[in-house]
Structure 1
Amino acid sequence: MAKLDGKTALITGAAAGLGEGIAEVYAKYGANICMVDLDPSVEETAERIRGLYPDARIITQVANVADRAQMDAAAARTVEEFGTIDVACANAGVCRLAPFEEMTDETRDFHIDVNIKGAWNTCKAVIPAMLKAGKGAIVIASSVTGDIVADAGEAAYAMSKAALVGLTKCLAVEYADRHIRVNCSQLGYARTPMVEKMALESNPDNPEEAINDIAVGVPMKRLAKPTEVGELFAFLGSDEASYITGEQVVIDGGSTLPETMSMGTN
């Protein structure tokens, strides 16, 4: 039996990147899935995953995580289709770079709306179904950025991702005795459209060089694959993680470990 057989998962930001990787892994492990994204191409992504796993039960919902009513509707449709929501993967996120003195309030608020309110709205939408079922698991996509490390130009992103650690810990405590576990991932870099856009903003003349430079700073010498992040989300959403809650799980290929890149015997 696959470890997510019979479980129903709602996954946000599922049209591409990490969300696509999470959905693919959840399908591999037998979950019923509602793939949520603002981009209508989420249905094309779902069709690709159905091709890999023909037995997968997947629905899609076009919704903006920043809109509470739209997330409530996505959760309601998931329950209508599958009967409950066992796992929520609050993955949708954005990152736009700018020097702090040039960063507009609109850019700041964009990060707050999608990264913070998006996770908040997702949790608000799914927790009633979990309370009714008497159990559930939520996995929130935070980041090493903000809570552990940061780069110049990431003030809004770092602030928003660090806030998700606080949300994770509070919800974990609040719902522990009601059998809802809440954990967050703290990813370094994966090869996703968002990271490729950040690379273009960092080095417009040669964005691939920016990505290669990231890999140089990672002890494993590469970026994560979205499906590798999906495996972490699958574990945290499964019964195998039944005694884990309120945790920040770093998945970064060791990138936050080195003190410097120039000292040592290697």
Structure 2
Amino acid sequence: MIYYYAGKLREGAFPIDPAAPGFRYGAGFFETICYNGSVLCHLDRHLDRLFHALRDHAVPHRSIDFEAAILRVLAENGLSESFARVNIVYPMREPEARPVVMAAPFEPAPHKAYRLCVCSDRHVSALNAYKTTSYMFFHLARRQAQAIGFDDAVLLDLNDNLLESSTGAILLKRQGEYFEMDSPYKLPSTALALAGEVLDVVPATVPLGDLGQYRHAYLLNSLIGMRPIVSIGENAFIPDEGPCQKVTDVVLER
């Protein structure tokens, strides 16, 4: 993989200072952006969220011309005309954090419906509202879900209220109304914000035990757009493609 760091395109291992907070504590922030083969989808929104995180935590950082750097990385990796996942990572180090820009192929599954298990562990923190590089809980939740045959895992707060999945936001529907999870302990999803420009979405606190009251469920993130969820744990949902296409078209800028 060819990546960009400190003003240069580089290949091979990334230089890590073992004394830096980014190595010792997994301290840092990142964003995931979809490149749809011609457009960096909603790059401005992702950069806004990233810089908001850096400012909120008083992290000295250097900015770059991100669009130019990403396009160079895509070209050098042979991805200029391919669907790709782009990551911008700011590992914390002294005297300032500098961005690492990476890109990798991503194979969309435009007809997939998702099966989610319920993560039995809890991880409730103010940092859940940011994409931090200390993402081990989310990584393990998804890995454990896939190990037992599910696509992803639903995460709950300490009162068993739904937060999100390990990879995206959750939207529920009943009687024609759409509901997003209302909690400060989840990521402010870019895809969900875009869905809110297409659909009327109401925030709600949803206990796990109330899932049976909802007819449809959806998973949203910046790479898949919006797709149906057919089950969360023991709760089954009728797959509803109706709103997915128009939301996905907005998220993936098609």
Taking structure 1 as the reference length, the TM-score comes to 0.27
More helix, by proportion: 1
More strand, by proportion: 2
